[in-house]
Amino acid sequence: MKSPFLAAMEQRVLLADGAMGTLLHSRGVAQHACLEALVLDEPEMVRRVHGDYIAAGADIIETDTFGANRFRLARHGLESKVRDINFKAARLARDAREIHGHPVFVAGAIGPTGRMLATAGDVRPGEVRAAIREQAEALLEGGVDLLILETFPDIAELREAILAIKSACDLPIVAQLTFQRDGRTYAGEPPDEVANIASALGADVAGVNCSLGPQSALDVIDQMAANTAIRLSAMPNAGLPKFMDGRLVYPATPDYYAEYAKKLVLAGANIVGGCCGTTPEHTSAMREMLAGEWNTRGRATVARGVTSPPITVRGPETAPDTVDEDRPRTLREKLAAGEFVVSIELDPPRGLNPRKAIEGAAHLKALGADCINIGDSPMARVRMSAIALSVLIEQRVGIETIIHFTSRDRNLMAIQSDLLGAHALGIRNVIALTGDPPSGGDYARATGVWDVDSIGFIRILKMLNRGTDWAGNSIGKGTDFFVMCAANPTADDVALEVDRVKRKIEAGADVLMTQQIYSAEILESFLERLGPIEIPLLVGIMPLQSHRHTEFIHNELAGVFVPEDVRERMRLAGENGVAEGIAQAGELLRACRPLVQGTYLVPSFGRYEVVGELVTMAKSL
């Protein structure tokens, strides 16, 4: 007899619920708590989450068991509670279904053990298979209707999980992997390949969940649908998170998310739902959007002016040994002389070859750029060291660089050691950043350090300039770092952002650089709230590429706002999006010129040649 779940999926698209973990955190659960243990310790809290998603219109609710395998529970000393936690979690979800009286399906959630990764330790595939089977048997005993494998990093561990379940029961299996920004798994496998392998192993549905936002998930589903016959599911995050005010913030609104739910269904998804950052409000918006008639494939027939304050450029805190009158002027000297400066942001390569970045820097130097910004594993994705690429560019191209340096990846000792090494290699310009959370990038299980935030980091830099380390120990001659700090004029909590910027300046920042903006009025309003500052200000500008790119920036990047009129112009531009984006960036640059002392331009998708026109324009202002 066919499973009721599979029968229902033949008749209509099914709507899965949203996040469990991030929703529990937003309701007061500590970040480092064992979320799965809540089914024993705080069952009513978990039951309310299920109830909220049922009330929002979900067809599928998932148990609070993502990490309830013996390996993950051992981190909390709970490895002996595998059966208890999984059984109770299934019962809680079933209880919520009975209380609300809606015929939803209860899915047993199973996440990866994390023990098959090269960095995780010597655990054999058979041990992973045994752990997944143990969890599946307890969920089966608890009465789940299907099993959902989530956030698996590659096909190797997914294979063991599917085989474990097939050896334990005949429940339907939804097999979902997480994909990197290049559209491949951590092991480099393309979407259609993993979907076909999952199908061959016996999964009933294959799909994507977690680390990607809706746009990237759509790309994955497009590839799967074009080359596979298995039914598909998509449960992306609510965009890429940012760490704000001590918490992760996900930017995608329910309305935006719902629009992409429809696109995912039209692309071939038979199940849509949400992962990190989504809420019952996202589920409700998707329920409303997906109302209509559905065919058996699961495709839809969708129905129905501040003046510039005086600027002071702080000089070096230690005198140089010699003065070479023939050497090029530094960024610090150009700003002190009142020259409008232009920096371009380049990302380090994902691998060993820096040629593209070096060639890009040379091209931009020829156009008149003053310096090159180099990201520090931006978006929490592994790239070549910013310090290494900076040295290569300065040596081979002869243009000054600014390294982005985050406190995310290093403890206090490593921060200072790396800074001293960078200084010895000739690096002088540093923008002090807190950094994106690693869990928002390619390494969901990576952890951040954050011994200090960007404010504390600025203090470290200034102490090194004065000849002492953080502990007050002498380092001999002081360093000569020119210290930049960041500001976000479009922050959700502008008052908090203004306060943090003031504290950064008080800590000793020499230059203020804004995150990318798309409105001079927003910058002007932010500066009015900030009040007069006595250090130079560089405005961040990222030219838009297309309407789709614009909607991604606005809806899936936390802390970035694109005004409606800008988004509409990009929509009307159609295939001329690149030209329209450059034109708008030029207009913005001219409008901001009275307010700032320079700009840093951010090329989208590494296309540095696109901003060349803006470099020439900026140098003529």
* CATH code at position 589: 3.20.20.220
- Is 271 in the same domain as 340? no
- Is 215 in the same domain as 344? no
The angle formed by the CA atoms of residues 42, 45 and 51, to the nearest 5 degrees, is 140
Domain termination site, one of 286, 302, 318: 302
Domain termination site, one of 253, 284, 302: 302
Distance CA 500, CA 373 (A): 22
Give the C-alpha distances (Å, rounded to integers) separating 60 from 205, 422, 554: 14, 52, 29
pLDDT of residue 195: 96
pLDDT of residue 245: 59
pLDDT of residue 203: 96
- The count of structural domains within the chain is 2
- Is 466 in the same domain as 355? yes
Q: Residue 229 domain-assigned?
A: yes
pLDDT of residue 375: 84
Give the C-alpha distances (Å, rounded to integers) separating 277 from 20, 213, 238, 510: 9, 10, 5, 36
- Is 405 in the same domain as 268? no
Q: Residue 326 domain-assigned?
A: no
- Is 257 in the same domain as 383? no
Distance CA 450, CA 434 (A): 7
Distance CA 521, CA 325 (A): 41
User: At 3, phi and psi to the nearest 5?
Assistant: -60, 135
- Is 170 in the same domain as 285? yes
- Is 530 in the same domain as 408? yes
- Is 98 in the same domain as 149? yes
- Is 228 in the same domain as 339? no
- Is 252 in the same domain as 125? yes
Report mean pLDDT in 10-residue bins for the chain, 621 residues.
88 95 92 94 96 96 97 95 97 93 93 68 80 96 96 93 95 95 88 95 96 89 94 93 70 92 94 96 94 45 39 53 62 93 89 87 91 78 86 93 84 88 93 69 49 86 91 88 94 91 94 94 95 94 92 85 93 92 93 94 78 85 78
pLDDT of residue 348: 87
CATH number for 28: 3.20.20.330
- Is 289 in the same domain as 335? no
The boundaries of the domain holding residue 391 are 331-620
pLDDT of residue 606: 67
User: What pairs with residue 430 in β-bridges?
Assistant: 403, 483
Q: Residue 128 in contact with residue 115, Cβ under 8 Å?
A: yes
Q: Residue 310 domain-assigned?
A: no
Q: Residue 275 domain-assigned?
A: yes
- Is 172 in the same domain as 242? yes
pLDDT of residue 468: 92
pLDDT of residue 69: 97
Q: Residue 312 domain-assigned?
A: no
